[in-house]
């Protein structure tokens, strides 16, 4: 965790946000990430997502079972979902989402939005062409050499 915190401090000087994350497998650091949203013009480049991408590349797999993530701040819903998709075993965090809100990184807004019925969310979602899109799922179902995850 001290390494994740050090990354969060350094990243401020490097034009990024005050967030760092480290992924560990079998006691060894396999990836590091920092928040590069504004530095790289990538709204998905949170520290945890960056670390997950790097760990997957380093280990040659999309399945990070057996890994732990140390993040300098409690994951936002995007990062927490990415942690689920990556099958990471355990999360260690230091600052909380409430600490983050105090410096104007308000992910509690997104947690609230996700818990709402889709018709009640602030970004409208409209369903169209479901009858055409389903063809891709049918094609996937009968594909023999697909990789599930």
Q: Per CB under 8 A, which of residues 23..82 are in contact with a second copy? A: 37-38, 41-44, 49, 52-53, 56-57, 60-64, 72-78, 80-82
Q: Which two tokens stand for residue 94?
A: 């230091």
Site string for a second copy, 5-34 (x = CB under 8 A): x--xx--x----xxxx--------------
Closest to a second copy by CB, 28 or 67: 67
Site string for a second copy, 100-139 (x = CB under 8 A): x-xxx----xxx-xxx-------xxxxxxxx-xxxxxx-x
d(CA 65, CA 133): 32
Q: Which two tokens stand for residue 148?
A: 């599930």
DSSP state of 61: -
Q: How far is the CB of 28 from a second copy (least distance, A)?
A: 19
The DSSP code sequence of 75-98 is PPHHHHHHHHHHT--EEEEEE-HH
**Annotated catalytic sites, by residue?**
48
Closest to a second copy by CB, 24 or 49: 49
Nearest to 56 by CA among 90, 93, 88, 92: 88
Residue 100 in 3-state DSSP? helix
Site string for a second copy, 84-103 (x = CB under 8 A): xxxxxxxxxxxxx--xx-xx
Total residues interacting with a second copy, rule: CB under 8 A: 84
d(CA 82, CA 110): 15
């Amino acid at each position: 965790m001290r390494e994740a915190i050090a990354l969060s401090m350094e990243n401020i000087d490097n034009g990024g946000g005050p967030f760092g994350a480290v992924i560990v497998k079998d006691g060894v650091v396999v990836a590091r990430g920092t928040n590069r949203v504004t530095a790289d013009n990538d709204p998905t480049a949170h520290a945890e997502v960056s670390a997950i991408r790097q760990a997957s590349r380093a280990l040659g797999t999309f399945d990070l079972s057996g890994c732990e993530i140390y993040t300098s701040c409690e994951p936002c819903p995007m990062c927490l979902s990415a942690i689920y998709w990556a099958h990471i075993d355990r999360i260690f965090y230091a600052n909380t989402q409430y600490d983050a809100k105090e410096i104007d990184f308000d992910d509690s807004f997104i947690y609230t939005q996700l818990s709402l019925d889709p018709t009640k969310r602030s970004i409208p979602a409209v369903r169209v062409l479901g009858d055409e899109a389903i063809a891709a799922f049918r094609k996937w179902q009968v594909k023999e050499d697909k990789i599930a995850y």
